[in-house]
């Protein structure tokens, strides 16, 4: 089962992101119900490992916190593949991400090894489709977009099913953060 651990985006933030997405000149927008911040991408895992991970994630204790945002950006260099909302540095977020990765490793799962760059993906771009110049212009005009902060009260273990129209996510378990 393809899975990841992430933080769902609150409705107020999803609405603000929707307004930014409506201005994007190109790209396939991420549907509002799929907006999230990935803490750990787990790839395909047997259910037994995800069950073991579930018990380890239940044991994580962390207080709720706020996510702030630092404008918009892209991944992919000269041929951007993704437009995202950049998350401002946060010790609480970094600590939670490290705990999630540690829990995954203890459950026998090796999460994706990329450096953690917290973000919320807004749209995916087609490489070589002439979209780079249009996105560069968009970012020049709107890259400093102000998004509301987002309270983080929980994190979630998701199943991710790939379909021709895009991924569909199913919440497998939710883990509340407690003060």
Q: Which of 107, 120, 5 is nearest to 62 (CA)?
A: 5
Span 108-123, pLDDT tens digits: 999 988 899 999 999 9
Span 40-85, pLDDT tens digits: 999 999 999 999 999 999 999 999 999 999 999 999 988 899 999 9
Helix or strand or coil: residue 34?
Answer: helix
Ordered by start, the domain boundaries in the chain are 2-176
Which residue among 54, 117, 119, 142 is the active-site one? 119
In this prediction the pTM is 0.94
36 a catalytic residue:
yes
Q: Confirm or reject CATH 3.90.1140.10 for domain 2-176, answering yes or no.
A: yes
Instruction: Say if residue 129's pLDDT is above 70.
Output: no
119 a catalytic residue:
yes
Which residue among 36, 54, 142, 163 is the active-site one? 36
Contact 9, 37 (CB under 8 A): yes
């Amino acid at each position: 089962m393809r899975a990841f651990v992430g933080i769902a985006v609150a409705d107020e933030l999803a609405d603000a992101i929707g307004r930014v997405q409506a201005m994007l000149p190109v790209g396939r927008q991420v549907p509002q119900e799929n907006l999230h911040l990935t803490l750990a991408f787990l790839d395909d895992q047997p259910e037994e490992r995800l069950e073991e991970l579930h018990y380890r994630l239940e044991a994580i204790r962390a207080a709720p916190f706020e996510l702030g945002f630092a404008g918009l950006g892209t991944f992919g260099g000269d041929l951007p593949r993704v437009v995202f909302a950049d998350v401002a540095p946060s010790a609480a977020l970094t600590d939670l991400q490290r705990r999630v990765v540690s829990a995954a490793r203890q459950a026998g799962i090796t999460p994706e090894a990329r450096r953690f760059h917290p973000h919320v993906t807004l749209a995916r771009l087609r490489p070589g489709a002439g979209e780079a110049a249009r996105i560069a212009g968009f970012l020049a005009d709107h890259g400093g977009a102000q998004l509301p902060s987002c309270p983080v009260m929980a994190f979630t273990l998701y199943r991710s099913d790939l379909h021709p129209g895009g991924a569909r996510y199913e919440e497998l378990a939710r883990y509340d953060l407690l003060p």
